[in-house]
Structure 1
Amino acid sequence: MTKHIVQFDNENELASAAIALGALNAGGELSGAEMQLADAAVSRKVSKAQASHLRDAILNGEDPLGDSFSLLRSPELRRENGATYTPAPIVQTMIQWAMSNCTPARVIDPGVGSARFLAAAGAAFPKAELVGIDVDPLATLMARANLAVSGMGERSRVILGDFRDFDEKIAGKTLYIGNPPYVRHHQIEAKWKSWLADKAGELRLSASKLAGLHVYFFLATAANAKPNDVGAFITAAEWLDVNYGSLVRSLVLGDLGGKSVTVIEPTAQPFPDAATTAAITTFEVGASPTSVNFRRVDSLVKLGDIAKGRKVHRDRLATESRWSHLTRVSERPPEGFVELGEICRVHRGTVTGANGVWIAGQHSMGLPDSVLFPTVTRAREVLDADGLLTDAGKLRQVIDLPADLDELDTVERNAVLKFLKVAREMGANAGYVAQNRKAWWSVGLRAAAPIISTYMARRPPGFVINKADARHINVAHGLYPRDTMNETVKKALVAYLQVNVSQRSGRTYAGGLTKFEPREMERLIVPSPSMLANGVTA
């Protein structure tokens, strides 16, 4: 199907087009901000031919207003409100799931945008009330226009507002469906972070202030929905693994009643202007299924039935701190190959809590060599080493003091005490990491790893043999052989990993960064030690 792309010169022209399509007479009463935008758009006339062109495109299942909006506002501007529009195949797949699981009296899209989900839901459920909510008046005018053209204006309500403030109850079943906005935590106001903590507390759960906005929408749904309400949300997939995502994971296992999680690789472009991994989460409020279905697809053609997947028991999910690896079907390694985790343990580097203090510099002059350790502190140090890290002199040093300072001799101890006064003045003792260590001054570097790797970049990880006896902080992972590994095998293993690991094996975030957690790296398929000893490197 060929899209009817219309390029508008400015937002007033786009608003004028929405008005020409009936936005003022659909979706209930307009808010003040919508009226102001409508007034500003009055002088921007849309021709009858152009309006007819747009109307035909909408009736043909397209979203010309939403497409034009995405051209008019850059991805960077839209991300301020988390406005990333969902491709039609994903919308239809989620609607098909809903049709198989409910006949709702009401459909709510908490971040309605141009009403892609709401219009599709209206067609699927011709008797349902349609409620769309968004903080952007231009988006709500587009939603009203699309619903008007689709003949759903009279049973629709489009609200310019915040879904977190919406708590209207009805007697019938509600379907919650859509793409909750993705906004990073540092753009979220303090009052809403307090709301998150308070609302989670009401459900006897804890919440992190580092949570993105999509987490708030999961929580608001759980707090306001009633038993047997159902839902399907598509969001960035990072909640599956990050610490702040524990709230969503708890909701999926608890009040939300999670049914399935389908991860979509960034190669499928689930969000066309953001190279990130997406997850479609389906749920039935109050349900307690014995298992949740997990699957992963790398193209939209493979989406199919999002209710299907690998069944993972709730008890296992409750003990897992990360979930994305559960979406990967373990492949049987070829003859002679094994998972990396069978021959090496993978450990992330130490978190110092204050690199400006614990990486040696002018502020630490006079410390004895016994507490200074050459350390990989930048991923580039691994990437530029071409598989072999040999020169410790090119690395910065990390200060790692013993928890018991009495282990030092008098001269060393005096030098350390002098440094600790400076460290206190720099606030090193006040940070979260320092306060949760056995001794705030003891970083606790791991032993030097025989192999060091990067784990986050816009490229596959790099690997080096660590001949420099370097330590590593949390910019890198350390690979520690489970059994003694000679230099021939180490060299062959690094050579193999350097050319046979793809970005698809990790998790890709907004902006295209791919991350390999230790567990994900341990699942990489590599030649067995005996094969490596015989020179297999590709």
Structure 2
Amino acid sequence: MTRPDATGSRRADLAALCLGLLDGAEGADGLSAEEQDLAAAGTCPTEDVVAATRDLVLAGGDPLGDAYRQVVPPEGRRALGQTYTPASIIEAMTAWAADHGRPVRVVDPGCGSGRFTLAAATVFPGADVVACDVDPLATLMTRASTHVMGLSERVEVVLGDYRELRLDAVDGPTLFIGNPPFVRHHGIAPRWKAWLTETARAWGLHPSALAGLHIHFFLATARLARPGDFGVFVTSSEWLDVQYGRMLRELLLGPFAAYSVHVLDPEAVPFADALVTGAITCFTVGEALPGVLMRPVRGVEELGRLGQGCEIPRDRLAAASRWSVFVRDTPPPPEGYIELGELVRVHRGAVTGANRVWVAWAQDLDLPRRVLFPSVTRARELFAAGDALEDDSALKVVIDLPVDLDVLDPAERRQVNRFLRYARTQHADQGYVASRRRAWYSVGLREPAPVLATYMARRPPAFVRNRVGARHINIAHGLYPREPLPSHVLDNLALYLRSAVTSSQGRIYAGGLAKFEPREMERLPVPTLASLARGDFS
């Protein structure tokens, strides 16, 4: 039996297929106006396609979700944070939930095509299910699949924002289970950022406007949950370490308590449609737990039961600014290798606080040459440089004024004063970064690093010899030898790093974005100094 042909189809055609699975007009009675309009705009499928799709649903497949991933390309799904969870992860999550309790209600936030909804409704036949999503096609797919499976009477599908969901009181525990959407803060409306700030502060938490949508969903769940409830979410793992994940870490150490956290290895690729390091977080509400079970998982097949891991006391987690250290499995360097940090210190470049003011083309400025520093200001400049940066003519300059302007001669001081008047009109003296400097107008560039490295891209880092003494801002790291190293050793070091370092050695975020913090880069294995000096490494 063939799958429905989704190649070249449109969202409306898929919606029309969902309507066909709902038995046409008869099943459309409970649909919202948005869902009805979307389905009405599509081409009615043939009876054979409807029958084939129904058989696939009955066989345990997700033909609608599979078709959706063909209809909507990854960049289109990214706007709504849609990633589709493989069955093996869903099975592990529902198994933990079944081990933990018997809910009378299940809530699936961001239900997508209904994978978690159907799994939970099957595992917990006595529970009602609430499935919520902002996408009318997602809610149509969930309605269609639950109808085919004969679960419609127990499943309430809500088209709306999960942060606005309200739940009636029930006599028994609620299970929250799913894959909250991953949308970065750039895609979140200001009113919802304000919602996060207000709600988090009411809970005594430290919010950040940089938080992604999955963190919003955790907070919304905490508002809905009552003592005795429990849940398990799979999300990106970046909240373990980043500053804007602090709120979630605090939340999980309170009454809304983390039970266990399982971090999937980047090479496991838990989501077929997104390269991202995943974390499965099990939580309970109102339980006084002494610690949190934490473990790294090398592959989805190793998930097993989610009740295992190394117990980390909650006070240790509360004192830690990053949680990945508790799951990091960093083996010692192999024989004949050392950590990069034994040879160099890795420093991120200076933060200007206002690139539009402090970064410019030299020919556009009327300033003394001695305050203009050719600098790497975009990662692409290092990727384009290849092995070495040999020419700084294509680089912009960073304006780095001395803290003590009295060192300038009168003519230079007049030039600088004119520039500072302009900088004030751009409010460069009022930002957070400027307020933390000794002098708001002095960027404080580091000395040139002999090796420059990118640290965030959807590809391995570039390691480039800096032969022109260019400075760098915070889009790159500088590698600074702890002791003076000969030029040929630095050449060999950069050569080795270019050939050996892979993206998987960093932290993988949504879309396959790999990031290397300075200390993480310092842990990279490299040949010994003697080997680098001889150049006898492969």
* Amino acid corresponding to residue 229 of structure 1 in structure 2: D
Q: Compared with structure 1, are the counterparts of its residues 359 and 105 closer, same or farther at alpha carbon in structure 2 (3 Å cutoff)?
A: same
Q: How far has the Cα of 1:300 moved from its partner?
A: 2.8
Q: How far has the Cα of 1:332 moved from its partner?
A: 2.1
Per the alignment, residue 224 of structure 1 pairs with 224
User: How far, CA to CA, are the matches of 2:129 and 2:381 in structure 1?
Assistant: 55
Moved more, 195-204 or 334-343: 334-343
Residue 32 of structure 2 corresponds to residue 31 of structure 1: yes
User: How far, CA to CA, are the matches of 2:445 and 2:389 in structure 1?
Assistant: 18
Q: How far has the Cα of 1:230 moved from its partner?
A: 1.5
> Deviation string for 1:178-206 (max 9, x for gaps)?
11122232332222222111111110113
> Deviation string for 1:477-521 (max 9, x for gaps)?
012233343434333322221211111101233333322111221
Moved more, 284-293 or 497-506: 284-293
> Deviation string for 1:51-100 (max 9, x for gaps)?
33222211211011222222223333333332322222221121122222
Contact 1:5 1:67 in 2 (8 A): no
Q: Structure 2: 5+ residue runs without aligned partners?
A: none
Q: Compared with structure 1, are the counterparts of its residues 148 and 506 closer, same or farther at alpha carbon in structure 2 (3 Å cutoff)?
A: same
User: How far, CA to CA, are the matches of 1:45 and 1:382 in structure 2?
Assistant: 52
Moved more, 27-36 or 50-59: 27-36
Match runs of 1:426-465 below 5 Å: 426-465=426-465
Secondary structure of residue in 1 paired with 2:512: coil
Q: How far has the Cα of 1:297 moved from its partner?
A: 4.1
User: How far, CA to CA, are the matches of 1:18 and 1:132 in structure 2?
Assistant: 16
Contact 2:13 2:41 in 1 (8 A): no
Q: Normalising to structure 1: TM-score of the pair?
A: 0.90
Q: How far has the Cα of 1:222 moved from its partner?
A: 1.4
Per the alignment, residue 374 of structure 2 pairs with 374
Q: How far has the Cα of 1:255 moved from its partner?
A: 4.0
Per the alignment, residue 87 of structure 2 pairs with 88
Q: How far has the Cα of 1:176 moved from its partner?
A: 0.7
User: How far, CA to CA, are the matches of 1:312 and 1:530 in structure 2?
Assistant: 40
Moved more, 363-372 or 328-337: 363-372
Moved more, 500-509 or 5-14: 5-14
Between the aligned residues of both structures, percent identity stands at 50
Q: Structure 1: 5+ residue runs without aligned partners?
A: none
Q: Compared with structure 1, are the counterparts of its residues 475 and 175 closer, same or farther at alpha carbon in structure 2 (3 Å cutoff)?
A: same
> Deviation string for 1:401-449 (max 9, x for gaps)?
1223234343433322122112223332243322343322111112222
Contact 2:4 2:53 in 1 (8 A): no
Per the alignment, residue 257 of structure 1 pairs with 257
Secondary structure of residue in 2 paired with 1:464: strand
Q: Compared with structure 1, are the counterparts of its residues 367 and 208 closer, same or farther at alpha carbon in structure 2 (3 Å cutoff)?
A: same
Per the alignment, residue 79 of structure 1 pairs with 78
User: How far, CA to CA, are the matches of 1:27 and 1:91 in structure 2?
Assistant: 29
Q: Normalising to structure 2: TM-score of the pair?
A: 0.90
Per the alignment, residue 142 of structure 1 pairs with 141
Moved more, 469-478 or 29-38: 29-38
Secondary structure of residue in 1 paired with 2:238: helix
Per the alignment, residue 499 of structure 2 pairs with 499
Q: Compared with structure 1, are the counterparts of its residues 222 and 407 closer, same or farther at alpha carbon in structure 2 (3 Å cutoff)?
A: farther
Match runs of 1:22-421 below 5 Å: 22=22, 29-37=30-38, 44=44, 46-47=46-47, 49-168=48-167, 169-265=169-265, 267-297=267-297, 299-361=299-361, 365-392=365-392, 395-421=395-421
Q: Compared with structure 1, are the counterparts of its residues 381 and 78 closer, same or farther at alpha carbon in structure 2 (3 Å cutoff)?
A: closer
Per the alignment, residue 422 of structure 1 pairs with 422
Q: How far has the Cα of 1:386 moved from its partner?
A: 4.2
Q: How far has the Cα of 1:18 moved from its partner?
A: 2.7
Aligned length in residues: 535
Q: Compared with structure 1, are the counterparts of its residues 3 and 401 closer, same or farther at alpha carbon in structure 2 (3 Å cutoff)?
A: farther
Q: How far has the Cα of 1:400 moved from its partner?
A: 1.0
Q: Compared with structure 1, are the counterparts of its residues 452 and 366 closer, same or farther at alpha carbon in structure 2 (3 Å cutoff)?
A: same
Contact 2:4 2:52 in 1 (8 A): no
